[in-house]
Structure 1
Amino acid sequence: MDIQHRWDAPRTVSITVGDAPESWRDAGFQVDDNGRCVIGGVVFHFVGNSADRGVHDVTFEADTPIAKDSPTIEIRGLTYHVKAPGTAGDIPETPTHTNLCTGIQKLEICPVETWYTLTQMVHRILPPPYQAFPYRNPDGNPQHVALWRMQNMEVFEMADGMGQTTEDEMAMFFLIVSDLEAARKVVGTDNCTEPFPMGDNRRGLILSNKALDLSVRTFLMEPPHEGDDQQDG
């Protein structure tokens, strides 16, 4: 029997978000007239805030059976599109964003129940994660986590919603900026938090959803320091 033990790292192609393009422009991102914004080779489509807020769908390139048979699947309210490797076109270049954003550290899905969603995803949408484990938060509550290696970010993460949601959602973007203090000045100190430690000797800040009218919790964080393991999330 031919058993495949390893898979090429998938690629996140695009994400559709129910936010107004001007909200992301106000945060220092370059967004064109069609609401298209490229970050780390991933195309973000901002389709306006009059429809459903949050992430509508995610498109991957991945070597999984669904890419051949059923290229769209919905899991508890979140829609995934899967394309076969090499069929989604070239990876677009990231433009020069005013806020100095250069790439993606991770995107995080928060499902209602991690293991249900994980079993639905594996081999249908993504290959198996390289890590799946129980994690204990500082408050003592357990949280189940899974991590995938991705071509165009450090990791792709799934961490259960801890009872906070009734549907699966992509709840957090972690984006890398080359200079955190300069990025904060561009965004505006009233539109984000103070910088704070985020682990792995890196600092970050959180954009204000209320002030900027964003629907996804978005972090700006420093690049990894030389010698740090970029795959640990």
Structure 2
Amino acid sequence: MTVTVDEFEVADTADAWISAGFTVDPDGVCRIGGVGIRLVGRDRGAGIVGWSLRDLPSDQPVDGIPTTRSNTVATVGAEHANGVTAIDHVVLLSPNLDRTVAALAAIGVDPRRERDGELGGRPMRQIFFRLGEVILEVVGSPGTTADGPSTLWGLTYVVEDIDATAAFFGGRAAPTKPAVQPGRRITTLRHREFGMSVRTALMSPPTLRA
């Protein structure tokens, strides 16, 4: 069995996401590819406040992240006016990389690759996992440990046409620039201007490799 993402729970209103060009079902779920984003309202706080995963061995938090075991089948995604077609990756901020990797291994999810770099002059390590169609990017400081839970920090989407998406958002998105991934381009949304609490980026589709 492969653990995959069913839904993310986000403490935003449906109106905020609709204003940013997302289609939201009457039940408050924004369907992107085979993943749902359940908008649970600001009474739950802010940002991504939990997720549901398929094929979990047990129903328990994953490194402190509220987690629900799901048995639902992936549905077809909706069409979105902003051009979003899929979720590329979700970023998880870890205060203890070894602990997070061990927690993911306990549910049968192993790292695919990792990359070292810097953030604000401090060492940073990115460790990548695959949860079905979604890449999980775990980010933390190597050699540094702290207490407290990991958190789901932000979402990056694939869009059909990055220039059309940038034009759709106008001045409420940063200028498009080359992404870290070769051949791809990225822009970041000024999400707070829409009343959204999730950090949001949008990328051109992956390039085809021979």
Alignment pair present for 1:75 and 2:63: yes
Distance 1:166 1:193 in 2: 32
- State the Cα distance separating 1:184 from its structure 2 match: 2.1
Structure 2 residue runs of 5 or longer lacking an equivalent are none
Instruction: Indicate the residue corresponding to 2:19 in structure 1.
Output: 26
Identity of aligned residues (%): 21
The one-letter code matched in structure 2 to 1:15 is F
Alignment pair present for 1:222 and 2:204: yes
Structure 2 matches for 1:20-169, cutoff 5 A?
20-62=13-55, 67=57, 70-73=58-61, 75-76=63-64, 78-83=65-70, 88-123=71-106, 125-131=107-113, 133=114, 135-137=116-118, 140-153=121-134, 155-160=135-140, 167-169=149-151
Distance 2:119 2:103 in 1: 29
- State the Cα distance separating 1:141 from its structure 2 match: 2.5
SS at match of 2:42: coil
Alignment deviations for residues 42-84 of structure 1 (CA, whole Å, 9 cap, x no partner): 110011123311111111123x5xx2xx3122534x212234x
Instruction: Indicate the residue corresponding to 2:194 in structure 1.
Output: 212
- State the Cα distance separating 1:148 from its structure 2 match: 1.4
Q: CA RMSD in A?
A: 2.3
SS at match of 1:75: coil
Alignment deviations for residues 105-161 of structure 1 (CA, whole Å, 9 cap, x no partner): 1111112222222222322x3422223x451226553222221123223x2211127
The one-letter code matched in structure 1 to 2:60 is T
Query: Do 2:109 and 2:130's aligned partners in 1 also have CA atoms closer than 8 Å?
Result: no
CA spacing shift, 1:60–1:182, aligned 2, 3 Å: same
- State the Cα distance separating 1:93 from its structure 2 match: 0.4
Instruction: Indicate the residue corresponding to 2:175 in structure 1.
Output: 194
Structure 1 residue runs of 5 or longer lacking an equivalent are 1-7, 229-233
Alignment deviations for residues 12-56 of structure 1 (CA, whole Å, 9 cap, x no partner): 111100011111111111012221111121110011123311111
The one-letter code matched in structure 1 to 2:207 is H
The count of residues paired between Structure 1 and Structure 2 equals 206
Alignment deviations for residues 154-198 of structure 1 (CA, whole Å, 9 cap, x no partner): x221112799x9642111101000011211232x22321111111
The one-letter code matched in structure 1 to 2:84 is C
CA spacing shift, 1:25–1:126, aligned 2, 3 Å: farther
Query: Do 1:9 and 1:149's aligned partners in 2 also have CA atoms closer than 8 Å?
Result: no
Instruction: Indicate the residue corresponding to 1:172 in structure 2.
Output: 154
Query: Do 1:108 and 1:159's aligned partners in 2 also have CA atoms closer than 8 Å?
Result: yes
The one-letter code matched in structure 2 to 1:73 is P
Query: Do 1:110 and 1:161's aligned partners in 2 also have CA atoms closer than 8 Å?
Result: no
Query: Do 2:62 and 2:104's aligned partners in 1 also have CA atoms closer than 8 Å?
Result: no
TM-score normalised by L of structure 2: 0.87
CA spacing shift, 1:167–1:10, aligned 2, 3 Å: closer
Distance 1:146 1:50 in 2: 32
TM-score normalised by L of structure 1: 0.79
Query: Do 2:33 and 2:78's aligned partners in 1 also have CA atoms closer than 8 Å?
Result: no
